[in-house]
């Protein structure tokens, strides 16, 4: 009898608390991935995890809308003239969510632990660069030192990866605990993470160290920020429609179209920085070793029409090795090889590619102009590309494979073309795709899929990394981009786009420059 | 009886050992590098790769990994997930309650709906009720889960607004239970109908009627009990199937569950999770089958295990 009454009481209590929770201002983000692995910025490499981590952790510096660095946790910073160190001056009074001070020692701890192989960092360690160590001068001043000149240091410190973690929390509970119970300095505090279901954050009432480009200072406006994992596109759209979530991430273009005509919803399209969806052509194998073939592919594709048709006008054709929103994007790629199928055919004829057996595919030396292209995404786009190339006598043999199979084909050099895209804010991403050291080999999965080894490209990449002014860097990267365009090592197809739909009564949503991750700090919800 | 049970339990041990070995081997035969999958295609230095390989003991020879796995499994340590870096059992049992809830919901829908349709159809064969119920059962077995799930969301959540799309608790369990229980319901309805038709023609039913029992007692006391043996077998298999998770239902309704966990872990080559998942679902099959075999003896006293 006793127990039954206890149950009723508990039920009532639960009802009351859920009513109370409703009264709070809650915003829920519908996330398209449900298998987040860690919320530790030092360990993550996933943009889906960063979307949550960004709200809980702050960076030293951030970028304003024009891409210029502005203060956040750091009041100011001085880069050494020879680019071998950087000294930060922190804002006073910054606290972690566990109440401990975020001082110079905390940064030293964070960076030292990222550099420690035992931590198993998946991305932060690379963005930390050639790290030598951190020297603490006083509570608010420290210097990060490098083993060699490192021109791209600022672009690392604006990223969430290098955000400070609470040393007390990590040391007391260990990395595995911290991955599930992140403690940062951000505008939202971590509450709970129900794996494969949702994450709940609440506002940090102590917060008064907002970045210089935020719309306000002090605590966030909303009380609770939820992340609900909804993998299925149509379910995410349904939940948005019923108001169970307020923001839907990575919406299907068809759903975007439906929401666009609805006054209750707004659509945001963010052109993501980095490397667009690009077809990389293997120069070490027949027939893509022929520059004429590679250039003909460019001329044969009416990309604007293809991308427009396939994605209902929501996505944009790519016009460069780098996405158009990336720092140091070289605009010369736009129109470098204009759409001209007649020219494509002329180039192929001149290079000796003729259809001798009348099967519609050109051939040379008795071998067909057939290009094997294993892919793991963008099947619809690639079908359209395949159809266009067929018109000029090129057979693009697209096969949908698993990630594991693709990696195996790439490492064993058993492909003529492959599809790559990269989300990044800095042009240094080109090194990953262009440097001779990054040619894949058995056992080594790397990203120079064009298998192009060039001492000129390697030298340009090295010069760009140690360049001492932004203008100098960009001029080196421009030379590089023009060079690879001329060689036609790859065909950029479509710009990666963040397609977000959100309730129109939600205001103040800001987007991080480059990767277009949502920042909820300034968000308000009207009735 | 007890002796038989003991023999069966001892027989389970080699089955599980073989399954563990197979699970260990098969997941490693699928091409691909788990460390590559942890990185998720991001550009990283060789140093990062080497660090991770050492972190997960993937730099050890395979035979060492195998004996390590078997030895640790014996004391209940199934290692840490490559992706989450959390203990495998913790990762797995976090997802299990949602799977058990859905299993209960799905089986309940299956028994209630399938039982009703099957018994009515069996008692009134070739009536218009029978024809329409069997048509419904056919829809149940043939409609793909993802389709029925989306239809349910469209009707009950988006149009009628009765039930949240992705809500938790009891309300959140209603649509997924219907969606995943439909198949079981269709199957059960068809099986129960034919079982009842068979039984109703048996001599003991005629005897029961002849001794003057009312029809309700004939059906519930004699027909239902005898018809329940094949039904029980199917329900056991169905339940074991639910224990393996329902990846599609979980995906469409954005639910937790071990179905999606296992599918993702296979794709991501998270060896420790896959190994434990296979061991767990195999055990579920083995023990549910054993339980059903035991139940036979209670339902039909003629069945004896010696």
- Statement: residue B127 has pLDDT above 70: yes
Mean pLDDT of chain A: 90
* Count: domains in chain B: 1
What is the C-alpha separation between B87 and B83, in angstroms, rounded?
11
Residue A13 has pLDDT above 70, yes or no: no
Write the DSSP symbol of residue A22: H
Distance CA B209, CA B217 (A): 9
B216, burial (CB in 10 Å: exposed 0-12, middle 13-18, buried 19+): exposed
Q: How confident is the model at residue A22 (pLDDT cuts 50, 70, 90)?
A: very low
Token pair of A84 as six digits? 């071998």
Give A21's pLDDT tier (boundaries 50, 70, 90): very low
Is B233 among the domain residues?
yes
- Chain B hits for A245, Cβ within 8 Å: 166
Whether A300 and A394 have beta carbons less than 8 Å apart is answered as yes
Q: Which residues pair with A37 in a beta bridge?
A: none
Q: Is A76 on the interface with B (CB under 8 A)?
A: no
Flag whether residue A44 sits within 8 Å of chain B, measured between CB atoms: no
The CATH number of whichever domain residue B127 belongs to comes to 1.10.3720.10
Q: Does A409 touch chain B (CB under 8 A)?
A: no
Which residues between 98 and 117 in chain B have a beta carbon less than 8 angstroms from any beta carbon of chain A? Answer: 98
B279 falls within a domain: yes
Compute CA distances B131 → A100, B8, B117, B120, B121, whole Å: 72, 43, 10, 11, 8
Residue B141 touches partner A, C-beta closer than 8 Å: no
Q: Could you tell me the pLDDT band of residue A516, with boundaries at 50, 70 and 90?
A: confident
| Contact call for A176 and B85, based on CB within 8 A | yes
Confidence of residue A12 (pLDDT cuts 50, 70, 90): very low
CATH code of domain A274-495: 3.10.105.10
Average pLDDT on A95-106 reads 97
Looking at the complex, report in whole angstroms how far the Cα of residue B48 sits from the nearest Cα belonging to chain A. Answer: 6
Q: Kindly list the residues from chain A whose CB atom is less than 8 angstroms away from the CB atom of residue B38.
A: 122
CA pair distance A508, A522, nearest whole angstrom: 5
> What residues of chain B, 268 to 287, have a C-beta less than 8 Å from chain A?
268-269
Q: What is the pLDDT of residue A102?
A: 97
- Choose the closest CB to B95 out of A195, A404, A447: A195
Distance (Å, whole) CA A71 – CA A86 = 14
Q: Is A377 on the interface with B (CB under 8 A)?
A: no
How many Å is the Cα radius of gyration of chain A?
A: 25
A394: number of Cβ within 10 Å: 23
Query: Could you tell me if A432 lies within 8 Å of chain B, comparing CB atoms?
Result: yes
**Residue A24: per-residue pLDDT:** 60
Contact B51 A117 (CB under 8 A): yes
Helix (H), strand (E), coil (C) string for A388-445: HHHHCCCEEEEEECCHHHHHHHHHCCCCCEEEEEEECCCCCHHHHHHCHHHCCECCEC
Cis peptide before A287 (omega within 30 of 0): yes
Q: What is the mean pLDDT of residues A363-367?
A: 92
Q: Do A235 and B43 make contact, defined as CB atoms within 8 angstroms?
A: no
Evaluate whether residue B6 is within a structural domain: no
Residues A312, A332: Cα–Cα separation, whole Å? 26
- Residue B304 CA to residue B289 CA, distance in Å, equals 16
Residue A239: per-residue pLDDT: 92
Q: Under 8 Å CB-to-CB from B91, ≥6 apart: which residues?
A: A195, B81, B84, B261, B273
Tokens of A260: 């666009």
Share of residues in chain B with pLDDT > 70 (%): 98
Distance between CA atoms of B145 and A171, rounded to whole angstroms? 47
Residue A492 Cα, gap to closest chain B Cα (Å): 19
Q: A38 CA to chain B: closest CA distance, Å?
A: 6
Per-residue model confidence as pLDDT tens digits over A336-362: 999 999 999 999 999 999 999 889 999
Angle (CA) A124-A128-A134 rounded to 5° is 120
**Neighbour count for residue A106 (Cβ, 10 Å):** 23
**Token representation of residue A519:** 């920042």
Interface test with B, best of A44, A152, A238 (most B CBs within 10 A): A238
Using CB atoms within 10 Å of the CB of residue B133, give its burial: 0 to 12 exposed, 13 to 18 middle, 19+ buried. buried
Task: Report the residue from B153, B168, B268 with minimal CB separation from A235.
Answer: B153
Contact by Cβ (8 Å): A509, A263? no
Closest among B144, B134, B91, B109 to B275, alpha carbons compared: B91
| CB-closest option in A38, A245, A429 to B85 | A38
List pLDDT tens digits, range A271-287. 888 899 999 999 999 99
Chain A residues close to B45, C-beta within 8 Å: 125-126
B235 in a structural domain: yes
Q: Of A35, A241, A408, which is closest to B32 when you measure between CB atoms?
A: A408
Percent of chain A at pLDDT exceeding 90 = 66
**Percentages of chain B per state (helix, strand, coil), in multiples of 5:** 75, 0, 20
Q: Find the domain containing B188 and state its range.
A: 88-299
Check if the interface score ipTM surpasses 0.85.
Answer: no
User: Which residues in chain B have their CB less than 8 angstroms from residue A449's CB?
Assistant: none
- Report if residue B247 sits inside a domain: yes
Predicted pLDDT at A267: 92
Asked if the model's pLDDT at residue A214 lies above 90, the reply is: yes
């Amino acid at each position: 009898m006793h127990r039954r009454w206890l149950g009723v009481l508990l039920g009532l209590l639960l009802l009351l608390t859920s009513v109370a929770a409703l009264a709070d201002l809650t915003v829920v983000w519908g996330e398209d991935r449900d298998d987040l692995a860690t919320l530790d910025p030092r360990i993550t490499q996933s943009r889906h995890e960063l979307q949550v981590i960004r709200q809980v952790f702050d960076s030293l510096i951030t970028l304003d809308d024009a891409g210029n660095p502005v203060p956040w946790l750091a009041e100011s910073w001085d880069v050494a003239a020879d680019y071998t160190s950087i000294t930060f001056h922190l804002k006073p009074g910054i606290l972690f969510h566990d109440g401990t001070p975020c001082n110079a020692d905390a940064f030293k701890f964070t960076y030292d632990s990222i550099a420690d192989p035992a931590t198993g960092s998946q991305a932060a360690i690379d963005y930390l660069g050639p790290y030598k160590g951190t020297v603490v001068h006083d509570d608010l001043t420290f210097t990060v030192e490098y083993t060699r000149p490192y021109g791209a240091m600022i672009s690392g410190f604006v990223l969430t990866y290098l955000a400070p973690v609470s040393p007390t929390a990590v040391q007391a509970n260990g990395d595995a605990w911290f991955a599930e119970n992140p403690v940062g300095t951000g505008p939202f505090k971590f509450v709970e993470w129900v794996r494969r279901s949702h994450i709940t954050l609440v506002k940090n009432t102590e917060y008064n160290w907002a970045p210089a480009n935020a719309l306000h200072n002090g605590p966030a406006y909303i009380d609770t920020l939820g992340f609900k994992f909804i993998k299925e596109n149509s379910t995410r759209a349904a939940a948005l429609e019923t108001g169970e979530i307020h923001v839907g991430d990575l919406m299907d273009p068809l759903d975007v179209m439906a929401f666009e005509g609805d006054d209750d919803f707004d659509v945001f399209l963010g052109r993501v920085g980095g490397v667009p969806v690009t077809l990389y052509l293997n120069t070490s194998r027949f027939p893509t070793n022929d520059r004429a073939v590679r250039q003909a592919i460019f001329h044969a594709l009416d990309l604007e029409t293809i991308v427009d048709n396939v994605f209902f006008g929501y996505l944009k054709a790519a016009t460069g090795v780098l996405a158009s929103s990336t720092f140091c994007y070289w605009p010369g790629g736009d129109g470098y090889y204009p759409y001209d199928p007649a020219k494509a055919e002329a180039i192929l004829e001149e290079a000796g590619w003729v259809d001798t057996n009348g099967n519609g595919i050109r051939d040379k030396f008795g071998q067909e102009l057939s290009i094997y292209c294993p892919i793991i995404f963008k099947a619809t786009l690639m079908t359209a590309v395949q159809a266009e190339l067929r018109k000029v006598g090129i057979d693009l043999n697209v096969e949908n494979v698993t990630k594991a199979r693709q990696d195996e084909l790439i490492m064993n050099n058993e492909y003529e073309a492959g599809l790559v895209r990269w989300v990044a804010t800095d042009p240094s991403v080109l090194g990953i795709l262009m440097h001779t050291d990054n040619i894949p080999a058995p056992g080594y999965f790397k990203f120079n899929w064009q298998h192009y080894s060039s001492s000129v490209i390697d030298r340009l990449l090295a010069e760009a990394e140690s360049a001492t002014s932004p203008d100098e860097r960009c001029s080196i990267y421009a030379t590089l981009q023009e060079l690879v365009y001329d060689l036609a090592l790859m065909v950029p197809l479509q710009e990666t786009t963040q397609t977000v739909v959100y309730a129109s009564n939600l205001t103040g949503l800001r987007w991080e420059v480059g990767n277009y991750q949502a920042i909820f700090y300034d968000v308000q919800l009207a009735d | 009886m007890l002796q038989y049970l003991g023999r069966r339990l001892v027989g389970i041990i080699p089955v599980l050992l073989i399954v563990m070995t197979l699970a260990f081997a098969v997941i490693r035969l699928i091409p691909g590098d788990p460390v590559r999958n942890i990185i998720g295609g991001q550009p990283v230095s060789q140093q990062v790769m080497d660090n991770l390989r050492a972190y997960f003991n993937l730099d050890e020879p395979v035979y060492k990994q195998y004996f390590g796995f078997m030895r640790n499994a014996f004391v209940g340590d199934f290692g840490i997930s490559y992706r989450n870096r959390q203990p495998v059992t913790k990762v797995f049992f976090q997802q299990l309650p949602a799977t058990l809830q859905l299993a209960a919901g799905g089986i309940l829908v299956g028994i209630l709906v399938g039982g009703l349709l099957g018994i009515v159809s069996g008692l009134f064969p070739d009536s218009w009720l029978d024809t329409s119920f069997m048509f419904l059962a056919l829809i149940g077995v043939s409609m793909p889960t993802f389709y029925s799930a989306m239809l349910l969301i469209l009707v009950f959540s988006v149009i009628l607004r009765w039930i949240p799309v992705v809500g938790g608790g009891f309300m959140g369990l209603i649509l997924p239970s219907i969606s995943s229980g439909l198949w079981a319901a269709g199957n059960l309805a068809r099986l129960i109908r034919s079982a009842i038709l068979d039984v109703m023609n048996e001599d003991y039913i005629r005897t029961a009627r002849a001794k003057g029992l009312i029809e309700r007692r004939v059906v519930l006391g004699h027909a239902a009990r005898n018809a329940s043996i094949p039904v029980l077998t199917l329900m056991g298999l169905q339940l074991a199937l639910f224990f393996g998770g329902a990846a599609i239902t979980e995906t469409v309704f954005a639910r937790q569950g071990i179905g999606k966990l296992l599918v993702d872990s296979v794709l991501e080559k998270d060896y420790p999770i896959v190994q434990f998942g296979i061991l767990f679902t195999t055990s579920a099959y083995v023990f549910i089958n054993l339980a059903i075999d035991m139940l036979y003896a209670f339902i039909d006293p003629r069945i004896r295990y010696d």
